[in-house]
Structure 1
């Protein structure tokens, strides 16, 4: 029947695409709803992919023109003193993120998924052992991959994200950093309380962003222009650049929601809170979890596996170490401890956990710490669209 599906997924970003592709490759009838007509429009992700995602998932098949390999991390204290880190064999991929989203949409179509762009999720209700989605049809399973303010979660009585960061990122098309082979990360309680700022070279230019703890009672817009005037020279960003596309939005940082699934409805990605509490990244974790959910749904449909709701809950990463680091980071209200401790073993260990997991970091310079502190210079960075 044309309006009968095994699975309806709401959202076509990384997590939604992973779940849909896993189920479609296993032979299920899958429909994906995406409210945007262009899946590469109005993005809220930095699109930075870690090595594990590049080597263990479908993202490893991304065209070379859409990715750029970065093997170093430069971590800056508020004074702009820095340490340069790497781990043997480890790297990140910065991306042409709009291009990646369009590539994922093509992959969905190639695998027989009924992708409906420009189609928003409005409502759903239980009908026997299935969900009826308004304007779409019926499906045994409904997956919400529709962001931190998930409508699927609201309509299906699932958990919701309780803690957020608010982030903004500029794109500078065709720009080039003086040090393009590093991910530049900046600690600043003044500009980024509760989080960090970053600058990175991507395939089409430079991306520079800033995020801070979100307090609904005292909402604050990140001062990204002031931040870039302060740190731009240290990060190798040319002055007087005019940004192109701007991304902004809420980023979950409180860990997996509860409940994450029940009665045939399951949350993945940002909707499920599967985002690192420290780095606010999560493409790999979200992809792996959503892929596991898609495979579990397919196995259950074939009467070969346990409840997908149970699998979704058990497979959700808990980020225990990173949540502990976030707790400690949030309780340091001043900048001076980072200036003092940047080169210390405890902070280096924390940096290892954040950027390279359990793998041992190695300094990239002969000394343990580069102590230069470039003075911020004048210049303007124009506001975004």
Structure 2
């Protein structure tokens, strides 16, 4: 049997792509090296309102899998804070393992086949219009007309196809606690040039747990560096105060260089983290993963049906470029210092930039409470 599409990776991007292609009539196979849906996760799982508004099937997510967060409490290094709100805007904290299981169910209901414990090892073909031969770790070879790599920041598919690979990263660690003290309703974000150079620390009340994390830049050519979450918890005690030991720990690399230059070749595409579709400013990539993944699935199905040219030739031009957010990251890297941000967060201009980053708006949303002593 020859599949129309093989998707490598059951990420947000991979599952959105597989579902859309299957609904478009394509014979789809998803392969993933993980043992089950929702296992070995590396993402915080925060979904922005923009994604819920633009992707209709997200509105069917069971209510018990998500929790609304409607504000951001942003702390300067000296722990003074400013509260940011945008009218009608919210984030979804999610029960990530169960959400991913729910998404896999949607993909299977659409008619796609999903295989876990299936490690992608290589892909090749003789001529441009021949089927691809996708080889799995078991030695099995699967034939298909199209390949989509949705296999994360260190994409094996990208390497096998000679496409661009991520080179700029953050490294983050997140703990989940069954009990913690923090003010609910906020995504608590902490700037600290020593503990989180190049990024931030965070904490929020999720679905049945409190998630607390810290990430920092990775210097090119070096190891990820030390993420001192214990020091972060000591500093933030009284603002975000976990109780007991973590019930779950996540860690992983987060691409932060923006869209990669070469993410496609005839008959193949990269989507999600594999394509660098992660905001350099916020390190958020779920919205882009879902949107681009779905667009790729629709385009591949239409290509297989003979209705459009190969999406590898045109779809990457529609991927987000992140020009503004790359500039923000460069500015943050250049200016990050504790004294600088202790002062900057007292200014209206800086708060406006933060609102733009967190709430994805062109105009400045409402600011409640100019500043507070944490």
Fold similarity call, TM over 0.5: yes
Q: Which runs of 4+ in 1 moved over 4 A?
A: none
Paired with 1:328 and 1:149, the residues of 2 have a C-alpha distance of 26
Q: Residue 377 of structure 1 aligns with which residue?
A: none
Q: Which residue matches 2:48?
A: 50
**1:380 equivalent in structure 2:** none
Question: 2:371 maps to which residue?
Answer: 369
Offset of residue 39 of structure 1: 1.7
1:30-41 aligned at under 5 Å gives the runs 30-41=28-39
After superposition, the C-alpha distances for 1:83-137 in whole angstroms (9 at most, x for unaligned) are: 0011111100000011111111111111111100111101111144221111241
> Once the 2 structures are TM-superposed, how far is the Cα of residue 359 of structure 1 from its aligned partner?
4.2
Q: Paired residue for 1:328?
A: 331
List per-residue Cα deviations over 1:315-345 (Å, max 9, x = no partner).
2101111111100100124211100110212
Tell me how far apart the structure 1 counterparts of residues 163 and 329 of structure 2 sit (CA, whole Å): 25
Cα deviation code 1:71-92 (max 9, x no counterpart): 0011100001000011111100
Quick check: 2:266–2:310 contact (8 Å CA) kept in 1? no
- Partner residue, 1:283: 286
Residue 186 of structure 1 pairs with residue 190 of structure 2: yes
User: CA-atom RMSD, angstroms?
Assistant: 1.3
Q: Any idea what SS the aligned residue of 1:122 has?
A: strand
**SS at structure 1 position matched to 2:125:** strand
Question: In structure 1, which of residues 191, 194, 197 is the aligned counterpart of residue 201 of structure 2?
Answer: 197
The residue that corresponds to 1:66 in the other structure is 65
> Which of 340, 343, 351 does residue 343 from structure 2 map onto?
340
Residue aligning to 1:294: 297
Residue 6 of structure 1 aligns with which residue? 4
What count of residue pairs does the alignment treat as equivalent? 365
TM-score by length of 2: 0.95
Tell me: CA distance 1:359–1:200, structure 2 relative to 1, closer, same or farther (3 Å): farther
Using the TM superposition, give the Cα deviation of residue 66 of structure 1 relative to its aligned residue in structure 2, in angstroms.
Answer: 0.5
- 8 Å Cα contact 1:68/1:93 also seen in 2: yes
How far does the alpha carbon of each residue in 1:291-331 deviate from its partner, in whole angstroms, 9 at most, with x for none? 11111111112222232013331121011111111001001
Label 1:14 to 1:218 Cα distance change in 2 as closer, same or farther (>3 A).
closer
Counterparts of 1:349 and 1:295, CA distance in 2:
37
Give distance in 1, aligned partners of 2:71 and 2:93: 12
Report the 3-state secondary structure (helix = DSSP H, G, I; strand = E; otherwise coil) of the residue aligned with 1:363.
coil
State yes or no: 1:131 paired with 2:132: yes
- The aligned counterpart of 2:159 is 154
Match of 1:271 in 2: 274
Match runs of 1:79-118 below 5 Å: 79-118=78-117
Distance apart, 1:352 and its partner CA: 1.5
Instruction: Give, in whole Å, the separation in 1 of the partners of 2:315 and 2:117.
Output: 28
Structure 1 contact 260–312 (Cα < 8 Å) conserved: no
| Structure-2 change in CA distance of 1:232 and 1:322 (3 Å) | farther
Query: What is the rounded CA distance, in whole Å, between the counterparts of 2:177 and 2:58 in structure 1?
Result: 24
Q: Deviations over 1:181-204 (max 9, x none)?
A: 110111110100000111011111
Q: Deviations over 1:258-312 (max 9, x none)?
A: 2110021110001000001011111011111111111111111222223201333
Query: 1:376 matched to which residue of 2?
Result: none
My pick for the range that moved more, 319-328 or 135-144, is 135-144
| Residues 1:351 and 2:354 are matched in the alignment | yes
> What is the CA–CA distance in structure 2 between the aligned matches of 1:232 and 1:122, rounded to whole Å?
45
Runs of 5+ in structure 2 lacking a partner? Answer: none
Q: Distance in 2 between matches of 1:172 and 1:59?
A: 26
Matches for 1:203-282 after TM superposition, within 5 Å: 203-215=207-219, 216-217=221-222, 219-235=224-240, 237-238=241-242, 240-282=243-285
CA contact (8 A) 1:177 1:201 kept: no
Instruction: Give the 3-state SS of the residue equivalent to 1:229 in structure 2.
Output: helix
Tell me how far 1:154 sits from its aligned partner: 0.5
